[in-house]
Amino acid sequence: MKRAYLTLCLAISGIVTHAQKTSIKWGEEFKLRKGSTDLEVIHADNSGVYLQESHMAIKAYFVIGASFRESAALVKVDKNLTEVYRNDFNKELRGKEFVQFFPCEDKLFLFSSDYSRRDRTLALYASAVNKNTGELTGEFREVATFQKDEKGDDIDFKIDYNTDSSKILIVSSVKGTENNEYKIQELDKNLRATAKPISIRNEFERKKYQLEDVLYTSDRKVVLVGRVYEYEEGKKKKEKFLDFTNYNIRIYDEKGKQQSELNTSFNGRWLFSTKLVQERNKDLVLAAFYSNTKKGKTIDGLLVQRIHVNDGKVISTSEKQINNSLLSGDTDKADKDEADDKEESREDRKMREELNKMKEEGEGFSRNMQFRKIFYTVDNGLVILAERYRHYVRTYTSYSTGVNGLSSQRSSTTYSTYLSGDLMMCKIDNAGNIGWLQILPKDQYEEIQGATSTSYVNSFSFGMHYFMEGNRPFYSGFGALQTAGTIQLLFNDHPKNAGVTQAGQKAKTVRGFGKSDCYILSIDETSGKLSRKVFFSNSDVPTAMPRLGSIIGNDMYLVGKSDKTFGKSKVAIAKISVK
């Protein structure tokens, strides 16, 4: 449950920008403690906003040194974004590992863990936090335990919500050499178990099955969405690699017994990216991008199915073909503006050329589309938001020979590149039919230097594993806020893209987010009509992180960050209001 490190930053006070009925207010400079590594908005209520400020803390002292653990402080600011309190819980966490803060209904919890090597047991603890004072309300209570069968087993767990966000869901996996076993536990807001834990085991080899999503329905059914892989022969002799073959979607009852398995090869369509939600009327809705061929390199359409949750039978099916006419312009060819763009260095240009060589062939929608958000509409429909996304990791290693008796040195630098592209917006009506579909061309390029837990080198990583955290990227991507009949998307983009509103237009790549504009894209839920306006310039304020914003009611809270080459970097908190 580690969080990505972030070198933190800047603050500007009292800036208010108006765009229609949406406004933003920046708080005063946020003071960070020395050694802080990250700042994240985790919750907001009518009394203020709660932030998680990550840092390292001493775990144990030794004769010649000390060991450290990841920890975090809870910081509360009021409606005016002025600090109310700050508590690091280092004393309370002594002997335990910090996991995360987690809100549920009107409460806020601090989760921690403790691993016993002797028993091979990982225990998960939780304690409620008094949101008025920032103090724990009592001792830590054990809420879950995970047992390793063998020393080399891996334990993954994730704290999540059930379908209506009224309960706490703890999903865990103990992965041995040849098995996949999952455990689902549900707790209420008082940390009491609402039912017996559900244990599920499947027959797939560990390396050939990747859990992508877990849906815990209102009547305690469990839906597991997994990606199945098979070994394929590589270009070189004795070289094999795991290649994605198909989705596996199964429904289990409250005792962990499999009830049904959904067919993921519908009429010759092969699903490559899916999203499963439970509607308010308790039907399941499956949205998926598909290809017409099993090994297709592009997406040929969007499939939507309404599924009965009890027996897994399909109630209705709707699909829409997506072809090259809906894509943004030919991004392989640099236009005059891009050729003259001083932002693109020689290394950036080389990187872009490498990416172009690896792009999909043929006409079609990018196979890398991922579902991001789903909103319910007042007419019992759904609005689905998806984004083209790729993650590229490069590691450069340099070697210097020793001179004058000094030893030789080898140093490595890792760059994580995040490519967030075109946005797809789609309306699904109450009958499960696809109403309108809109495409907004977008091309965000964000590179982060430093260590990374990703093991890929010079390859793409899709980052769809259920247990992976999504704290990166910081500035690219988008945030979404729903108001009466309208969905507003906030994202950073190049100032020259102000007129890009339709599929097929060329979007200029944004790299320097400190010089970008933050835009609001308003989507009419009924008609799908789009309107785009500049909200504010990131040149005047700390560079905003819309994707990591936290929403309560009609307000969104986000962190702004700007680094300085010389001098102290600053950070600020902003409140976006819709009236």
Instruction: Name the maximum alpha-carbon separation found in the chain.
Output: 78
Q: Which of 453 and 91 is assigned the larger pLDDT?
A: 91
Ramachandran quadrant class, 350 (left: phi over 0; alpha: psi -120 to 50; beta: rest):
alpha
Residue 188 CA to residue 552 CA, distance in Å, equals 21
Classify burial at 9, counting beta carbons within 10 Å of its beta carbon; exposed 0-12, middle 13-18, buried 19 or more.
Answer: buried
Report residue 331's pLDDT band, with 50, 70 and 90 as the boundaries. Answer: very low
Q: How far apart are CA 124 and CA 107, in angstroms?
A: 18
What percentage of the chain reaches a pLDDT higher than 90?
A: 37
Residue 417 in this model has a pLDDT that exceeds 90: no
Does residue 110 have a pLDDT over 90? yes
Q: What is the mean pLDDT of the chain?
A: 80
Can you give 463-518 as a three-state secondary structure string? Answer: CCCCCCCCCCCCCCCCEEEEECCEEEEEEEECHHHCCCCCCCCCCCCECCHHHCEE
Mean pLDDT of all residues in 471-489: 91
Q: Contact, 272 vs 367, CB < 8 A?
A: yes
Task: State which of 25-29, 280-284, 350-354 shows the largest mean pLDDT.
Answer: 25-29
Amino acid at 452: T
Report how far apart, in Å, the C-alpha atoms of 36 and of each of 149, 451, 452, 469, 488 are. 37, 17, 18, 19, 32
Q: Is pTM, for the whole model, over 0.85?
A: no
Tell me which residue of 431, 436, 423, 425 sits closest to 526, measured CA to CA: 436
256-266 pLDDT per residue, tens: 999 999 887 77
Amino acid identity of residue 226, one-letter, is G
**Rounded alpha-carbon distances, angstroms, from residue 155 to 123, 171, 204, 396:** 11, 11, 17, 31
CB contact at 8 A, 114 and 142: no
Q: Is the dihedral of CA 400, 401, 407, 408 positive or negative?
A: positive
Q: What is the mean pLDDT of residues 165-180?
A: 83
**Which amino acid is located at 58 in the chain?**
I
CA distance 253 to 311: 10
Average pLDDT over residues 80-89: 92
Residue 361: is it exposed, middle or buried by C-beta count within 10 angstroms (0-12/13-18/19+)?
A: exposed
Q: Which of 323, 316, 324, 472 is nearest to 391 (CA)?
A: 472
pLDDT at residue 187 in the model: 96
Contact 334, 344 (CB under 8 A): no
Question: Quick check: 68 pLDDT over 60?
Answer: no
Q: How far, CA to CA in Å, does 415 sit from each of 444, 450, 469?
A: 16, 6, 18
Q: What pLDDT is recorded for position 299?
A: 80
Tokens representing residue 151 in the block: 């020393």
The sign of the torsion formed by the CA atoms of 32, 34, 39, 43 equals: negative
**204 exposed, middle or buried (CB, 10 Å; 0-12, 13-18, 19+)?**
middle
pLDDT of residue 367: 62
Q: Which of 102-106, 131-135, 454-458, 482-486 has the lowest mean pLDDT?
A: 454-458
Q: How far apart are CA 249 and CA 226, in angstroms?
A: 6
Residue 195 · residue 213 · CB < 8 Å: no
Query: DSSP state, 47?
Result: T
Between 104 and 61, the more confident residue is 104
* pLDDT average, residue stretch 153-169: 89
Token pair belonging to 206? 């560990």
Look at 25-34, 138-147, 300-309, 543-552 and tell me which has the smallest mean pLDDT: 25-34
Question: pLDDT tens digits for 30-42?
Answer: 877 776 777 888 8
Q: Which two tokens stand for residue 259?
A: 């009830």
Q: What pLDDT, on a 0 to 100 scale, did the predictor assign at position 360?
A: 42
102-116, 354-368, 404-418: which range is least confident on average? 354-368
330 compared with 175, residue with greater pLDDT? 175
For residue 336, pLDDT over 50 is answered with no
Q: Strand, helix or coil at 357?
A: helix
Domain extents for the chain? 1-92+549-579, 323-399+411-544
18 vs 394, which has greater pLDDT? 394
The count of other CB atoms within 10 Å of the CB of residue 374 is 18
Question: 115-150 as b/e, with b when 16 or more CB fall inside 10 Å?
Answer: eeeeebebbbbbbbbebeebebeeebeebbebebee
Nearest to 456 by CA among 385, 499, 366, 392: 392
Strand order of the sheet with strand 97-104?
97-104, 107-116, 121-129, 141-147
Could you tell me which of 254, 96, 94, 111 has the C-alpha nearest to residue 170? 111
Residues 495, 405: contact at Cβ < 8 Å? no
Residue 334 pLDDT > 80: no
Give the dihedral sign, CA 112/68/40/276.
negative
